[in-house]
Amino acid sequence: MRSRIAILLLSLCCLALAPRMGAQAYTPAPVEHSTEKVRSGGKVYWSHVVKEKQTLFSIARAYGVTVDEICAANPDMKLKEEGPKTNAILLVPVSSSSSELPPAAESSEDPVGPSEDVSEGEYFIHIVRWFEDIDDISRKYGIPAETILSYNGLTSRKLKTRMKLRIPRNPEEVAAGQEQDGQIQAPQDTVAAVAADTVSSKTSRLEELLSIFKKKEQVRALLVMPFGANATPSENVMDFYCGFLLAARDLGREGVNLDLSVYDMADGSLPVTSEKVSSSDMVIGPMSPDHIRKVLSVDDGNVPVVSPLDPRASALVADNPCLVHAPSSSDAQYEEAVKWMSEDFVAGDKVLVINEKGGRNADVSALVDSLLAQRGMARESFSYSILEGRRVADDLLRMAAEGTSRVIITSDSEAFVHDVVRNLNLMKIRKKEVVLYGVSKIRSFSTIEVESLHKLNLHAVMSYHIDYDDSRVRDFIMAYRALYNAEPTQFSFSGYDIASFFVKSCHEGGPRWVERMTVVEPYRGLQADFLMSAVEDGGLVNTAVRRVVYTPQYRISLLR
């Protein structure tokens, strides 16, 4: 009781002093209107990343909605009680007054930076994402769709995922040239009408696409894994199998009829006939790339094969149209990491890209540089070898930003990454603000202490992450314990997620279930998410990832 009285008296004193402290009053940070839209529960929202010192009121005012509407859209975040947390992602309802993109998206400044393909600074490159069509891109840059199509020599409005489009820096000159050449430019009011109706038209297109798929009464699946039943069974594979069977039980309760055949491929020989493969809807497994190649060679690759666990198998997707790779690709992880950096970046910050001199990851370095350039983000690159590690701390210190140094490491060498983390922590000791952005690989390095990652406020883009605050996760754990009298491992969660997503996708999509996966909304699993994207002339890859933050307060938080 005394403490409450003391707090009340202190609050009254602060209120009394407030007029004299006007010069030091708290000022909410300005809110930049997001350009990213998402669908949830059949409704459309802006996806807003909360910046430091932003308030519910300032966010609501920027988007033209009420505080209550934001709270209702994010019921699990306790916004009224605790307020918005920095780096949290809020769903903000799209109001009638904010259906268009904000003015910032229509700026004459370059939305993305130049790439290596720039010719005399006349254009920059936009890489088409799975959810974009030509009208989306037209609205994003404020350039008529017909101008973009003509500038790229395209006669069809249909775009392919990851297609590179040239976006002219001076669209007025391009349009004028097109008119002189007799090309007809779409009227501006038509472009605006298309842009305003983008979300509703995309929704109708999705509904129309999904209507062509017919449900399958029974799903015939083969599970081919290296169980090792004739010797010492693999515990990881058995855990995967247990999770898979639990998902099959739950799917059965939802009306999904699964006919499952299980085969052991531990010795490397293919234990299933081509006739059996041909009569199936899918093959899930095996694990290693070599074993997957053997399965793909059966039946001329007509039956979809799901690669469930090994990230290395992603290299096979480009040459095998029937291969579906379940783990999210490293490219998708780096793309999300760069996107995250761009969202966090404020004036005074600096992007540092640290490469291993003479390392084997030149392709990763080139990818990161390209992704940063596309977003118009200036960066400084720093390369050194592990033998120089003890002498680079001062060099990194001189490169540090006045604000926050946002660092990404392009090497997958554990020794090198460990050394970089050590040097970055030395920067922290010298009072420099550092945030490290990483991908899944960094969490597998046993020599890097978790404490170091917390000190660097690691922003990790993960293929897998279990949120134990999720009620579905808790229900799975209880059911797993009851059935198997054991604790589930990450492989148990993987088995459950793989079966839940792919078997149900086949049930709902019928003979064209693989095609259907490329048009549905992201699927949220217990440990992993799925958002399948087609590779040109190849199979499908998963581009869904999770954002995980290691806070200096030694908490690990899943943002999305």
| CA 208-38-76 angle, 5° bins | 125
Q: From residue 156, how far is each of 9, 146, 189, 190, 535 by CA, in Å?
A: 71, 10, 21, 18, 20
pLDDT band per the 50, 70, 90 thresholds, residue 111? very low
Evaluate if residue 493 carries a pLDDT over 70: yes
Q: What is the pLDDT of residues 37-84, one digit of tens each?
A: 766 666 778 878 888 778 887 888 888 888 888 888 888 777 877 788
Considering only CA atoms, which of 423, 464, 468 is closest in space to residue 444? 464
Give the model's pLDDT for residue 188. Answer: 41
pLDDT for the residue 375 = 85
The pair phi, psi for residue 293, each rounded to 5°, is -60, -40
Share of the chain above pLDDT 70, in %: 80
Q: Which residues contact 91 (CB under 8 A, 6 or more apart)?
A: 38, 40, 45, 46, 47, 48, 70, 73, 74
User: 89 has which bridge partners?
Assistant: 49
Task: List Cβ neighbours of 511 (8 Å cut-off, separation of 6 or more).
Answer: 214, 216
Q: Residue 212's pLDDT band (boundaries 50, 70, 90)?
A: low
Q: What is the dihedral of CA 308, 312, 316, 321, to 10 degrees?
A: 30
Give dist(CA 245, CA 118) in Å, integer.
52
pLDDT at 198: 42
pLDDT band at residue 176 under the 50/70/90 scheme: low
Supply the pLDDT for residue 519.
Answer: 77
* Predicted local distance difference test score (pLDDT) of residue 11: 41
pLDDT at 163: 79
Is the confidence at residue 211, as pLDDT, over 80? Answer: no
218-328+471-544 maps to CATH 3.40.50.2300 = yes
Asked if residue 454 has pLDDT above 70, the reply is yes
Nearest to 457 by CA among 380, 560, 553: 553
Q: What is the pLDDT of residues 25-39, one digit of tens each?
A: 344 567 888 777 766
Strands (E) across 101-205 are located at 123-127, 164-168
Identify the helix (H) or strand (E) that includes residue 259.
strand 257-264
- Token output for 498: 């793989």
Per-residue pLDDT at 179: 56
- From the list 134, 179, 140, 136, the residue with the least C-alpha distance to 152 is 134
For position 269, what pLDDT does the model report? 87
CA angle 338–325–204, rounded 5-degree value: 75
pLDDT tens digits, residue range 249-272? Answer: 999 999 999 999 999 998 888 888
Domain boundaries, the chain: 37-98, 108-211, 218-328+471-544, 332-465+549-558
CATH superfamily ID and name for 37-98: LysM domain (3.10.350.10)
Residue 174's pLDDT band (cuts 50, 70, 90):
low
Place of tokens 């459950």: 496
Residue 460 — very low, low, confident or very high, per pLDDT cuts 50/70/90?
very high
Q: At which residue do the structure tokens 């200096």 appear?
A: 552
What per-residue confidence (pLDDT) applies to 260?
A: 94
Q: What is the maximum alpha-carbon separation in the chain? A: 85
Buried b (16+ CB within 10 A) or exposed e, 68-86: eebbebbeebebeeeebee
Element housing 306 (H / E) = strand 305-307
Q: Is the pLDDT of residue 22 over 70?
A: no
Instruction: Tell me what percent of the residues of the chain surpass a pLDDT of 90.
Output: 31
> 352-361, 486-495, 536-545 — which one is most confidently predicted on average?
486-495
What is the average pLDDT across 481-493?
94
> So what's the pLDDT on residue 249?
95
What confidence score (pLDDT) does residue 301 get? 65
Task: Tokens for 246, please give them.
Answer: 């639990």
The span from the first CA to the last CA of the chain, in angstroms, equals 40
- 67 compared with 224, residue with greater pLDDT: 224
Q: What is the pLDDT of residue 480?
A: 95
Which residue type is seen at 508?
E
Pairwise CA distance, residues 99 & 70, whole Å = 16
Q: Please check the confidence at residue 461 and state whether its pLDDT lies above 90.
A: yes
pLDDT level of residue 527 (50, 70, 90 thresholds): very high
Quick check: 329 pLDDT over 80?
Answer: yes
What pLDDT, on the 0 to 100 scale, is given for residue 408?
95
Residue 94 has pLDDT above 60, yes or no: yes
Compute the average pLDDT of residues 432-444.
Answer: 90
Q: What is the pLDDT of residue 27?
A: 46
Provide the CATH number for the domain formed by 332-465+549-558 in this structure.
3.40.50.2300
Average pLDDT of the chain to the nearest whole number:
79
Q: Is 436 helix (H, G, I), strand (E, B) or coil?
A: strand
Domains 218-328+471-544 and 332-465+549-558 in one fold: yes
Which letter does DSSP use for residue 41 in this model? T
**Strand segments (E) across 431-545:** 433-439, 459-462, 523-524, 529-530, 532-534, 540-542
Residue 430 and residue 397: Cα distance in Å, rounded? 8
